[in-house]
């Protein structure tokens, strides 16, 4: 009978420890989620603030890409 009580108390201790760890992890996940959305919002705000400053068009590239496969086809090899 003592063995059963020992197993029951040990199971209760393990369950309480698991519950404490689960609550701590849930709290950390909630905090990380809030930090993620705050960072995403701040990034959007900064990105929106930079958009009007870049009104100049992007410079056009001077060279164009030519695939090597098209050069091989045209050379007759």
pLDDT in tens, the chain (77 residues): 899 999 999 999 999 999 999 999 999 999 999 999 999 999 999 988 886 655 667 777 778 777 777 776 655 55
Q: Residue 69: its pLDDT value, please?
A: 77
SS3 assignment, position 65: coil
pLDDT at 42: 95
- Statement: the pTM of the whole predicted model exceeds 0.85: no
Alpha-carbon dihedral angle through residues 32, 37, 43, 45, given to the nearest 10 degrees = -140
Strand residue runs (E) in 1-77: none
Q: Give residue 12's pLDDT.
A: 98
């Amino acid at each position: 009978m003592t063995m059963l009580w020992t197993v029951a108390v040990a199971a209760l201790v393990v369950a309480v420890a698991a519950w404490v760890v689960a609550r701590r992890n849930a709290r950390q996940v909630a905090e990380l989620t809030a930090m993620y959305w705050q960072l995403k919002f701040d990034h959007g705000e900064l990105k929106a603030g930079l958009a009007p400053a870049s009104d100049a068009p992007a410079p056009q590239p001077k060279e164009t890409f030519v695939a090597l496969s098209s050069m091989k086809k045209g050379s007759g090899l």
